[in-house]
Structures are given as C-alpha cells and as structure tokens.
Amino acid sequence: MLTGLSIRDVVLIEALDLRFEAGLGALTGETGAGKSILLDALGLALGVRADSGLVRQGAERAVVSATFDLPPSHPVGLLLTESGLDAEPGEPLIVRRIVKADGGSRASVNDQPVSAALLREIGGLLVEVHGQHDDRGLLNPRGHRALLDIFGAIDLDPLAGCWAEWRAAEEALADARAEVEEAERDREFLAHAVKELQSLAPQPGEEAELAEARATMQKGDRISGDLGEIAELLDGSDGGLAKLRQAARRADRIAGEHELLGEALAALDRALIEADLAEEKLAEAAHILAFDPQRLDEAETRLFDIRALARKHRVEPDALPQLAEEMAAKLERIEAGGAHLAALEADVAAKREAYGTAAETVSKARASAAKKLDKAVAAELAPLKLDAAQFRTAVDTLDEAQWTAEGRDRIAFEISTNPGAPFGPLAKIASGGELSRFILALKVALAEQGGAATMIFDEIDRGVGGAVASAIGERLSRLAEGAQLLVVTHSPQVAARAGHQWQIAKSSDGLVTRTGVQRLGDAERREEIARMLSGAEITDEARAQAERLLEGV
C-alpha cells in the first residue's frame, strides 16, 4: 500500500508531502489544476521513463520519493532478494527517483542504487495505473491467462509436472540419439580400439610394476660381474669364509692359553656370523637382480605397448582398464541402440499423451471459467453505459511449438463496442472513457487476487454522469475493499464514494505558478463536491445536493 509521496520541483509542484491510507481516495480539482502532474510524479518514482522537462523551471533537479507498507509475502520482497538488495521484513519500502534538468536520472530502493529497468519492474508490482494510455495490466494479453486461471481457481501443478516429465523424456531421447549418431560414425574405430584394449588387457598399476621390474633387471645386468667376483672371493676352499673358519678353529684350540686369545676367538665368531649374513644377502640380491634377457625383453615390450596405447588414447596408463570398459559399453549401446531408442521414443510418446490429457483438463476448465467471466463482465457493462458493447474471453489452441508448462491455450480479453462490430483487443477497440470503464468492469468481475495492492484509475468517469457515474463510484468503492484505490475524477458521484479526498489546485503570486494538494475535511469535501456539481459559482442548492450525495454513501 502507498503510504507517502514526497515531491520536490516537478513542473508546477515546488514541495509536496502527502500521506495516503487504505480504501478509496479521490483526487479532484479544476481542469488544468495539475492532477496529471501528480500522476507523472508518481510514475517517475515507479520507473516511468525520465523526462528532464518535468524539472521545475529554475530548479537543478526533480526528486520524487514514494513509501510503501508491504506484507511479508509481497512478491517485491523476492524480487529484491534475487536482485541482491537488502530489504528488512516489516520495514517500509522507499523508492526514489532523481531527474536532472540537464538530462540523466538516478533511482534507488531503500537508498540502494538500482537501474531504471529494475525500478520499473518493482513499480509494476507495487501500483497498477489504469487509464486510456496504459499499456500494462489488463490491457496486456500476456497477463490474461494468469488472470483467468486465478478467476477460475485452476490448479496448474499437475499440468506443470506432466510438462517437466515430458521435457525430461525429450531431452533423454535427444541425448541418446546424439550419442548413437556419434558412435555410429566411429563404429569401426571403436570396435578396433575395444579389440586392441581387450587383447592387451592392461591392469591398474601394471605400468609402474613393469617399469620397476625393468629397472631392476637392468641394474642386475650392470653389476652381475661384481657379484660374481664377490662370490668367488667368499666361496670355495680358498675363499675368504673358508679361511676365516680355519682361523677360528685354530684359535679355538689355543684360546685357553691367554685371555686375549679368548677375546680374539669371540671376535672371529662374530665375524663369521656377519660374514654368513653377508653371504646370504649377496645370494638373495643375486637372485633378485638376476639378468634374464628374455624376461627383460618381455617386460620392455609390454611396458612400451601399454605406454603407446595410453598415448594413443591420450590417457594415463592406469586409466586404460576404465577406458576399455567405457568403450566396450559404448559399443554395446550401439549394437542395442535401436531397441534403446525405441524404448525412449515410447516413453516420450507416453509423457506427451499424459501432458495432453492434463492440458485438455486445464483447457476445459478455462473454457468454463471464460463463460463465467464473460457473464460476470456482461452484468457490469449496462450500469457503466456500455450496454451496446460485448465482452468475450477468447480461448484458442496454440501450435505445439508454443506449448508450455502453463498449457496450450492462448487467452485474450476482447470486446466489441457495437452490435455486429468485430471483436478485438481492449486497447485498440475502446475509446479512452470506454476503456477505463471496461477495465473497471473486468476488475470487479475478476475480484482479482495477487495483483498490486494499490490501484489508480485516471479519469475513469470521463464523458459520463448521473446514474453511470454513481455506478462507477459504487464499483470503485467495492473494488477498494481490502485494498487501496486512488481515482482522479471530475464526477461528484464518484468523489462522494471516496473515504478520503484531496483537492488539487493551482495558485499564482504573479510571478510563480504553483500546484498544491490539500486533504479535505468533511466541510471542505462538501464544498468541493458542490463546486463539482455547480461549476464556478457554488449555490446553496449545490451544497444541499453535495450533502445528499455524501449522506447517501
């Protein structure tokens, strides 16, 4: 709900601060007093294209701020969050626009800079402006489907679910077809690669094992001569170990002759133990490092084959087993591709049929809701002096390429202003006054929920009076229940229906002309409505009639 409007230096408005409440409010004043300036100023704050011509003459810039109180669930909150803007729940929302006299403008929401496009999107969620030049809201066919669905309480969740499943099945089929087509192109290569990989049958970690075995055998080849010479020095009757054992036996016979000889024998025993251990290690090393030309050749051949195949497929050697499995599975899918695609095609057909069934249910519900809406709008036309006009909700089937999660229907509100005249879009068929009344009839018939909480009707009563004006006022009052509705009006019958009224007036000191806005009390309202009834000179009869209008509300 709009709670405040602050205007500085906009055309004839020098400084103006207004407070607004819920319910129906009327903006009245003589022709040329500046009512349009007030709406232009609010439009600036809501993101309408900036025009430096709106800056008051002699001022450097124009500034307009609008304050709103919104419920926590209002869609503006989600939009602000998605746009990265801070918005405290329960706190007022302040939108501001600054337009410079030399061109250019700045916009902000809660003192955070925003683009004009985002401000326009936010403004569309905050306020609906209905007038003869409005091209949004009810005049935009893109929103007619949603309005009909709300009116008919049509549940779109089952349809949306069927749509999502159909789309997912279509994507799966498209992916499978692309994979099969690609695989078919590479079938020969794939078959050869699988055969080659399966023939070599590389194992995880095998490349490292082969490389280590090859390096070990190459070392053995290099040091085999040294190992042989060491063995000759240690082994045999004349080897080092034999002579060391002989020395130990002789020392054993004489060890008792002297303490030092006993110590010498112990040292010889230790040397024999270490020498035996050395002999064992040398034998073990000789076995491990044994050089076998055939084994080395076999290891090198397999190692080179594995590495060459890895380079060929541009993978690490350890990835070859996994690659073999993947290629084999891909080749298998090619062989079974026809059956697989047939199964996916059958799934797509089933999902499309399910969507079609759900869409048909929604279409029937929309057709039924359209008849009810047409009847409800028709009941509103005659009291609004549109009895010669007809309204219809056109429900047409879209081409399949245009089907969506919302169904396969094109919804459009159309009118015919005279018997026998063709139906057409609201904005193209109706005149300014007719258009505003058609919008009012639609609004009342729709009893719309989910729209902006603040609505503005600009001169909806143009060209009508008497009973028609009373009917307009009654419907505006009914529409304002539980919401906020502001109406710019020249009709005393409409103004009398309002719960609040502001008078817009122009004044001049001979040098500067200014537009001001005054909130009217009860006595002032009676006087203003009397002026609207009688014109320039307010008569007692006009005052009495004004009193009757106010009392009759």
pLDDT in tens, 464-520: 777 888 888 888 888 888 788 998 888 899 899 999 999 998 888 777 888 888 999
The 3-state DSSP class for residue 84 equals coil
Residue 452 inside a domain? The answer is no
Cα separation of 107 and 46, whole Å?
Answer: 10
pLDDT for position 106: 92
Residue 287 inside a domain? The answer is yes
Q: How many residues does the chain have?
A: 553
Residue 143 inside a domain? The answer is no
pLDDT for position 233: 65
Dihedral sign of CA atoms 310, 316, 322, 323 in order = negative
Residue 204 inside a domain? The answer is yes
What is the pairing mode between strands 390-397 and 409-416?
A: antiparallel
pLDDT for position 135: 47
How many domains are contained in the chain?
1
Q: How far are the Cα atoms of 239, 240, 242, 245, 291 from residue 231, in angstroms, in the given order?
A: 9, 10, 12, 16, 16
- Residue ranges of the chain with per-residue pLDDT less than 50: 133, 135, 449-450
Contact (Cβ atoms closer than 8 angstroms) between residue 227 and residue 281: no
* 390 C-beta neighbours (distance < 10 Å), count: 18
pLDDT for position 62: 93
pLDDT for position 189: 82
pLDDT for position 508: 80
Residue 96 inside a domain? The answer is no
pLDDT for position 61: 93
Kindly give, in sequence order, each residue whose CB lies less than 8 Å from that of residue 339, ignoring residues fewer than 6 positions away: none
* Matching residue, tokens 């602050």: 6
Residue 98 inside a domain? The answer is no
pLDDT for position 222: 63
Amino acid identity, position 320: L
Helix, strand, coil share (%) of the chain residues, nearest 5: 60, 20, 25
Cα separation of 441 and 418, whole Å?
Answer: 17
Residue 41 inside a domain? The answer is no
pTM of the predicted protein model: 0.62
Q: Token digits for 26? A: 């009327």
b/e sequence 48-75, b meaning 16+ C-beta within 10 Å: bebeeebbbeeeebbbbbbbbbbeeebe
What domain range includes position 248? 187-335
Residue 263 inside a domain? The answer is yes
Cα separation of 56 and 61, whole Å?
Answer: 8
Contact (Cβ atoms closer than 8 angstroms) between residue 386 and residue 472: no
Contact (Cβ atoms closer than 8 angstroms) between residue 512 and residue 9: no
Q: Token digits for 69? A: 């109180």
